[in-house]
Chains A and B, each alone.
Chain A
Amino acid sequence: MTDQLTNQPAVDAADERLVRVVSPGDYLRQLAGRLRGGDLGMLPVIFGLVAICAFFYSQEPTFLSSRSLVTMTLYAAPLGVIALGIVLVLLLGEIDLSVGTVSGFTSATTAVMFVSHGQPLALSVLAAIALGALIGAGYAVLFVWVGVPSFVFTLAGLLAFEGALYWVLGDQGTINLPRDSGLPEFTRQKFLSDGQGYALVAVVVAVYVGSRLWTIRQKRAAGLTPPNLLGVIVKGAALAIGLGWLTYYLGIDRGWGYLPVLFAGLVVLMDLLLRRTRWGRYVYAVGGNEEAARRAGIRVGLVYGSVFVLCSTFAALGGVLVAGQLTTVSQSSGTTDTNLTAIAAAVIGGTSLFGGRGSAYSALLGILVLQAIRTGLNLMNVDSDVRLIVTGAVLLLAVAIDSVARRARSSSGRG
């Protein structure tokens, strides 16, 4: 049987009902079919981002100035890190309502250790991150062993860690981080030079194209239909031009900050983990059908546990980065709209609330949408009440799209 297979051109293209995709036209037709079937992926959010940018640009051209874009990338990144954790939790069909206050509490810990007790900065940051992981581990125990719904214990965490924030800050109320210390410097003043920026773009494009070419070789050797070489080249070129142009444009002002690069790196890393490792596969499996995952021998508790730990850890890291960016930790740290923004970003970015569907990139796109709205309305001198209303409307729209897409999927067999 195996010999038979090798003689055929491609084992996966044998079924005559399979719609073959050869020309660019086929590709577009397939894409249209997917959209109609509710397999929207990240297209709504990309479309929305373009529309939002076009709108604000028409109202206030400085919205798309280099300076404004650089500022947006800087402010989007820390909340994006928190949203990344939310994406993971949503993939399991769970929720974490406490990421905001966890971020506030852990960043306050960093500030107290570093400023009030004179501990080394690295140790203070690591302590906050470890504290985040510990909180996540506590959630994992509650969820896996005690069986409390995630909605409940994270709601409890939302309250409890706000209390913990006050307690850690004591009667100081506010702690200012010295502006010349490492954390504010990293989050506010460190930027890639132009050369470094282009080098990074080159590396990213090379890795992308290289990995696709490698896949083509592997698939061809295995007698499977390889990805279209032309498609790979076109996508690689688009990536190179897009990122290269962005690097040039941001470089007119300050360029790529260390902070957004760190965030983008985390997104790419999580995407790799989710799509290419067993752990990621198990996250999707548990989110899709927990019982099936359990019967397949997956240790479901470990999957839940690892995700809750990661989510709280990302919350802690994000909180520390926010603190560095604002150079201050106060009783309002992480309490105002951090939760709302992080959860909304994940959902707006296209991660389904129903579990099992979504991508690490939805944290990136979602937070960009929210940051664009915030920056745009600020430029138009609109008050924050309007901003909250607009953000709420966008969130509602995103969830509505998710729900409609879910119905379209079930009627067109895409799960």
Chain B
Amino acid sequence: MSVTYNEVAVRDTGEVVLSLTGINKRFGAVQALTDVDLTVRAGEVVALVGDNGAGKSTLVKTIAGVYQPDAGVIEFAGSPVTVAGPAGAQHLGIATVFQDLALCDNLDVVANLFLGKEHSLGPLMNEVTMEREAWRLLRSLSAKIPSVRIPVAGLSGGQRQTVAIARSLVGNPKVVMLDEPTAALGVAQTAEVLNLVERLREQGLAVILISHNMADVQAVSDRIVVLRLGRNAAEFTTEEATTDQLVAAITGASDNVVAQRAARRAGPAGHPGHSEGEQ
């Protein structure tokens, strides 16, 4: 990985910003989430990992107000809240990059970035300040976007993803949730997103990061929460977790000592993040 990462332990843990207890969510015959707990503190990056269909996106959408949980309590800054809808989540200061990006193809980059949070100039929108701010945000992500006045449909997959990430930074969020933000990104842009995650943490924001890339997860997160089949499967402090342990927890082999050993032996010796994770 090209990202340098050090000084994990110098931060003191902030207060709990977001806390979920006993979240259940069911889609017809599918119980997507069962009694899921999750806690995020200010200035902390929590990685949410799990296999495909583990329920990660469902959990994120529940926090973002897209879905209503069937049961469970969401506490924000210490008090229980109902996130009635996406507007409610925004109002609380929860910003989300959705896995499917949720961009309007017919609108240009500026319009997408500020959708729902337009700058006003009397009764009208202030296009000039929005455009200027758009360039600033995109620059900070090393975005390679030729023009912010072209419809989003004309952008490449990675450019669209960058726009979606930049959008989560508009306004002053307290919690930023990134659902596979680097899936389509190039090397430099991935590094920028990881840098961004670290900057957000330094600014005292709470970050929830979903990724299938264990190297990225281990590079930037403080804690790793593993979901499996819609349940809390394991939780690690990033410094203590090895890649193999993570993989085992994700695939469901952690409760089986033999499988765990086998997985460990089969894994290549010089796994990234392996050596510094071990004590």
A residues contacting B by CB (< 8 A) are 1-2, 5, 11-12, 15, 17-18, 215, 218-219, 222-224, 276-278, 281, 284-285, 287-289, 291-299, 356-357, 409-410, 412-415
Contact = CB atoms under 8 A, between A and B. Distances in A.
A289 B103 contact: yes
Contact of B131 (A17, A222, A296, A409): A222
Contact of B125 (A12, A223, A276): A276
Interface in B154-208: 154-155
Contacts of A298: 87, 115-116
Nearest to B129: A222
A64 to B, nearest CB: 37
Interface residues of B, number: 44
Given A288-B106, A413-B153, A222 B124 contact: no
B272 interface: no
A415 B152 contact: yes
A144 to B, nearest CB: 14
Given A5-B132, A295-B102, A296-B102, 17 more contacts: A11-B132, A12-B148, A18-B147, A224-B131, A276-B124, A278-B120, A285-B111, A289-B102, A289-B106, A292-B102, A292-B104, A294-B66, A296-B86, A296-B116, A299-B87, A357-B106, A414-B153
Nearest to A357: B106
Interface in B134-157: 135-136, 139-140, 144-155
A275 to B, nearest CB: 9
Contacts of B153: 409-410, 413-415
9 contacts: A1-B136, A11-B139, A12-B147, A289-B105, A292-B104, A295-B64, A295-B102, A298-B87, A414-B154
Interface of B: 64, 66, 85-87, 89-90, 96, 98, 102-107, 111, 115-118, 120, 123-125, 128-129, 131-132, 135-136, 139-140, 144-155
A278 B154 CA distance: 23
A295 B132 CA distance: 24
A120 to B, nearest CB: 32
Given A219-B128, A222-B129, A297-B86, A285 B135 contact: no
A270 B126 CA distance: 18
B104 A12 contact: no
Contacts of A356: 104-106
Nearest to A289: B104
B139 A1 contact: yes
B106 A297 contact: no
Nearest to B89: A297
Highest count of chain B CB atoms <10 Å: which of A1, A297, A410:
A297
Contacts of B115: 281, 285, 292-293, 296, 298
A375 B88 CA distance: 54
Contacts of B116: 293, 296-298
B111 A281 contact: yes
Contact of B87 (A287, A297, A410): A297
B128 to A, nearest CB: 4
Contacts of B146: 15, 17-18
A341 B134 CA distance: 42
